[in-house]
């Protein structure tokens, strides 16, 4: 969601140059202007070398320059939610702070230099396993760092690294429990709008569902920059299914999902791999699954796919069965596409061109569960329509 490699590489370059110049006995001039171009919310700080530098003494026996090492990270203690602390960072320093938060809570972490001319701050957030979750340089304005509305998924202890991007000095650090800027309540027929403001942003929407109801959930980007991603959770909080690009382009679509029990369901709308921020429209519809037919192992059927349609086929499978499904175009120029859904509604396989030419094929797939599987036979694009042959093979 964020580009951690880019952020770390930019900071590493600054650290390396600082150490090298320190080894030569050189200082830094404070830049008169700060660059405004940003990549992934990270603004590199300009470094400048003074007009007069101390040259190293030359001798007949050159001595290797040994750069000083950055100071070790310092454990500073715990921050309570809605609390703040103050600290002091040396050049290239890192302070480590920890806080506890429950699942479902959103937090905003802010770090500001007391003297922005002396210190450019940098924030990193880690989970209990040391996995980097989010990072930021200057989203807090001036040289301040801000990780806004981060969603806590697992109850536990989280770690903040308060760092220097450049300079040294005093800082303020705060962790606030906040309500997300998006999300809310859905109902059948609802069409709502939202905007994901940060790479880690996600909006939670809830609705009351009834066992056996069949639903569609569609998330469509409205500004072209967002890669939509959907997650559907059951009343027990367990993840039921996800979708990335089943809609047009980079839009997400959970289609013809049968609700397993009565209760309150949760839809999480977030960004995907190719664009994590932007505006979207979310729609929830109750629908009815119209089947094209039922298949058995070794069946081969012919069908005509018309514009704007998808064909739904079902078959009974047993966990451990190894199956093959092929969709061969009969009409010239048709690019076929297959999706396979398990009995629990989770999409377990997709394929575009594993068959001959532009034909789709799922080859030697082992069924994970026993029950009724659903095949979606469709065209890769809106113009891919016509006659096709669908074949199901099994043990």
Per-residue confidence of the chain (395 residues) as pLDDT tens digits?
Answer: 333 434 444 555 555 555 444 444 444 443 333 333 333 333 344 434 444 444 444 445 555 666 667 889 999 999 999 999 999 999 999 999 999 999 989 999 999 999 999 999 999 999 999 999 889 988 887 889 999 888 898 999 999 999 999 999 999 999 999 988 889 999 999 999 999 988 878 898 999 999 989 999 999 999 868 899 999 988 887 888 888 877 888 899 998 888 988 999 999 999 887 777 899 999 999 998 889 999 999 999 999 999 878 899 999 999 999 999 999 999 998 999 999 988 877 778 989 989 999 999 999 999 999 999 999 999 988 789 999 999 999 99
In a domain, 185, yes or no: no
In a domain, 183, yes or no: no
In CATH, what number is assigned to the domain containing residue 119? 2.60.120.380
In a domain, 310, yes or no: yes
In this structure, are 253 and 297 located in the same domain?
no
In this structure, are 215 and 159 located in the same domain?
no
In this structure, are 306 and 377 located in the same domain?
yes
In this structure, are 12 and 153 located in the same domain?
yes
In a domain, 354, yes or no: yes
In this structure, are 142 and 269 located in the same domain?
no
In this structure, are 160 and 196 located in the same domain?
no
In this structure, are 173 and 217 located in the same domain?
no
In a domain, 166, yes or no: yes
This prediction's pTM: 0.61
In a domain, 255, yes or no: yes
SS3 assignment for the chain: CCCHHHHHHHHHHHHHHHHHHHHCCCCCECCCCCCCCCECCECCCCCECCCCCCCCCCCCCCCCCCCCCCCCCEEEEECCCCEEEEEEECCCCEEEEEEEECCCCEEEEEEEECCCCCEEEEEEEECCCCCEEEEECCCCCCCCEEEEEEECCCCEEEEEEEEEEEECEEEEEEEEEECCCCCEECCCCCEEEEEECCCCCEEEEEEEECCCCEEEEEEEECCCCCCEEEEEECCCCCEEEEECCCCCCCCEEEEEEECCCCEEEEEEEEEECCECCEEEEEEEEEECCCCCEEECCCCEEEEEECCCCCEEEEEEECCCCEEEEEEEECCCCCCEEEEEECCCCCEEEEECCCCCCCCEEEEEEECCCCEEEEEEEEECCCCCCEEEEEEEECC
Q: How many domains does the chain have?
A: 3
Q: Which domain does 213 fall in, by range?
A: 191-287
Tell which of 178, 210, 242 closes a domain.
178
In a domain, 159, yes or no: yes
């Amino acid at each position: 969601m964020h580009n951690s490699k880019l952020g770390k590489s930019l900071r590493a370059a600054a650290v390396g140059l600082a150490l090298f110049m320190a080894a030569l006995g050189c200082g830094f001039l404070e830049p008169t202007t700060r660059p405004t171009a940003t990549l992934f919310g990270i603004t590199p700080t300009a470094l400048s070398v003074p007009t007069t530098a101390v040259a190293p003494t030359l001798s007949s026996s050159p001595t290797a320059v040994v750069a000083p090492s950055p100071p070790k990270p310092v454990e500073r203690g715990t921050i309570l939610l809605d609390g703040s602390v103050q600290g002091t960072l040396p050049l290239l320093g890192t302070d480590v702070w920890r806080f506890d938060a429950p699942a479902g809570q959103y937090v905003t972490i802010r770090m500001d230099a007391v003297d922005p001319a002396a210190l450019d701050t940098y924030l990193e957030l880690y989970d209990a396993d040391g996995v980097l979750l989010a990072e930021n340089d200057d989203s807090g304005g001036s040289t301040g760092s801000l990780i806004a509305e981060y969603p806590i998924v697992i109850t536990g202890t989280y770690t903040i690294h308060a760092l220097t991007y450049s300079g040294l000095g005093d800082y303020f650090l705060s962790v606030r429990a906040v309500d997300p800027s998006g999300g809310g309540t859905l109902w059948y027929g609802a069409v709502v709008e939202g905007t994901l403001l940060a790479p880690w942003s996600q909006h939670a929407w809830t609705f009351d569902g009834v066992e056996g109801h069949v639903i569609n959930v569609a998330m469509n980007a409205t500004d072209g920059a967002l890669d939509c991603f959907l997650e559907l959770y059951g009343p027990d909080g367990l993840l039921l299914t996800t979708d990335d690009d089943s809609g047009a382009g980079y839009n997400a679509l959970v289609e013809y999902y049968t609700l397993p029990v009565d209760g309150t369901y949760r839809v999480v709308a977030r960004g995907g791999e190719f664009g994590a921020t932007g505006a979207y429209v979310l729609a929830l519809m109750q629908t009815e699954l119209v089947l094209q037919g039922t298949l058995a192992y070794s069946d081969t059927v012919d069908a005509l796919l018309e514009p704007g349609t998808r064909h739904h086929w079902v078959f009974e499978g047993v966990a451990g069965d190894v199956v093959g499904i092929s969709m061969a175009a009969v009409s010239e120029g048709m690019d076929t596409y297959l999706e396979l859904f398990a009995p629990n509604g989770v999409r377990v396989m997709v394929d575009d061109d594993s068959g001959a030419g532009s034909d789709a094929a799922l080859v030697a797939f082992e069924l994970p569960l026993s029950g009724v599987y659903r095949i979606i036979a469709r065209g890769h694009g809106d113009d891919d329509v016509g006659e096709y042959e669908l074949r199901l093979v099994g043990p």
